[in-house]
């Protein structure tokens, strides 16, 4: 018997699998083979939410598709639009979980930041999502559906086409490899988003970085470094205890040597914590061997901490120190601060008081 749980999710199958599944399904029901391409066009080019929208298919086929397949499409729980154009979408999944994606327009690109987990188990001390705890893994379809939903919204609201995708929303993407890697394949092969335009951001999950190093596609990697030594880093990122900095750097060397795979280092600037002048030198020594960019991110205050962002003078000092050592370093200006667009903030507002789930992130 076909149930919601056993129906394949056309949004979450990698393209080759989607095509083979459709070919078998349509063939068994006597439909011509060109219908496969028609259905896939509706999925990948039109972001179709259901077979009901597939207007060039016969009614009987649309009904059969609706009965046999899922088309994951989370409901919009809230949309917040900043004065700077940054737009945050809060999605409600069928089981009530909430996840976020953020559209960030600039003069030259439209970047979509998406989530890979509901909540996050990594508990980084500077992060609203980390404080709220882990709920569950997302499926490949739930990851890709954020892109489809945001792309539809962007087209309908005059934002144009999404040019870049970053996995910097809620969750640690490399702790959800069963969904992340199929989602990368679907986005790059199905939706034809160039691998170099997709960035996976990690706090340092070494096995995942090694897997990315071996991929033929040149997906980008962003590493949330946030401290240039083990002692300080383990105070900010608990995962540092499992994968200490030397091990992380070894994995990054493998990624770097794979060629054409640029690394971005993220470094949060917290007043009196990560911004001491000597740390700038230490940071330059750590990242100097890589073909890399360093993004300095002014800390975004979250309720429950007394930490404050670094002063402008400290930010400038850091940038100058890094640039003087030949490292490309920039300050990443905060976007959408009037709509709580930093990682996990909107969800944290909506789910205040709900208990996190204590389970493995695998």
CB of 149 to ligand SF4, least distance (A): 20
Closer Cβ to ligand SF4, 35 or 347, answer by number: 347
172 touches ligand SF4 (CB under 6 A): yes
The residue (of 54 and 102) whose beta carbon lies closer to ligand SF4 is 102
Report the residue number, 54 or 296, with the smaller CB distance to ligand SF4: 296
String marking each residue 194-233 x if it binds ligand SF4 according to CB under 6 A = ---------x--------------------x---------
* Residues involved in catalysis: 100, 343
Return the number of the residue (173 or 228) whose C-beta is nearest ligand SF4. Answer: 173
Name the residue among 76, 80, 78 with its Cα closest to residue 338.
80
Task: Give the range of 86-94, 168-176, 250-258, 302-310 binding ligand SF4 by CB under 6 A.
Answer: 168-176
Q: Which of residues 104-143 bind ligand SF4 (CB under 6 A)?
A: 120, 122-124, 127, 129-130
Query: Which stretches of the chain bind ligand SF4, using CB under 6 A?
Result: 120, 122-124, 127, 129-130, 170-172, 203, 224, 343
């Amino acid at each position: 018997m076909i149930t919601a749980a056993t129906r394949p999710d056309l949004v979450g199958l990698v393209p080759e699998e989607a095509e083979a599944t459709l070919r078998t399904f349509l063939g068994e029901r006597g439909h011509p083979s060109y219908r496969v391409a028609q259905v896939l066009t509706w999925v990948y080019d039109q972001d179709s939410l259901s077979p009901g929208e597939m207007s060039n298919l016969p009614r009987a086929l649309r009904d059969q598709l609706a009965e046999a397949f899922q088309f994951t499409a989370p409901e919009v729980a809230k949309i917040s639009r900043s004065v700077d154009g940054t737009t945050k979408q809060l999605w409600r999944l069928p089981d009530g979980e909430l996840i976020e994606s953020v559209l960030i327009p600039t003069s030259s690109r439209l970047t979509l930041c998406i989530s890979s987990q509901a909540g996050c188990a990594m508990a980084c001390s500077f992060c609203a999502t980390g404080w709220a705890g882990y709920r569950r893994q997302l499926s490949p379809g739930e990851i890709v559906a954020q892109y489809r939903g945001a792309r539809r919204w962007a087209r309908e609201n005059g934002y144009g086409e999404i040019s870049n995708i970053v996995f910097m929303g809620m969750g640690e993407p490399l702790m959800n490899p069963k969904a992340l890697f199929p989602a990368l394949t679907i986005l790059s092969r199905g939706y034809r988003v160039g691998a170099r335009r997709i960035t996976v951001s990690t706090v340092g999950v070494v096995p995942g970085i090694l897997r990315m190093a071996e991929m033929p596609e040149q997906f980008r990697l962003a590493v949330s470094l946030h401290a240039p030594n083990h002692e300080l880093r383990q105070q900010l990122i608990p995962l540092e205890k499992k994968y200490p900095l030397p091990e992380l750097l070894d994995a990054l060397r493998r990624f770097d040597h794979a060629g054409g795979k640029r690394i971005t280092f993220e470094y949060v600037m917290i007043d009196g914590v990560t911004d001491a002048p000597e740390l700038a030198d230490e940071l330059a020594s750590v990242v100097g061997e890589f073909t890399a960019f360093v993004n300095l991110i002014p800390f975004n205050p979250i309720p429950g901490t007394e930490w404050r962002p670094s002063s402008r003078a400290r930010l400038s000092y850091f940038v100058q120190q890094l640039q003087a050592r030949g490292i490309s370093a920039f300050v990443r200006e905060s976007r959408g601060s009037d709509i709580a667009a930093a990682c996990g903030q909107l969800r944290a507002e909506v789910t205040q008081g709900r208990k996190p789930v204590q389970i493995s992130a695998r």
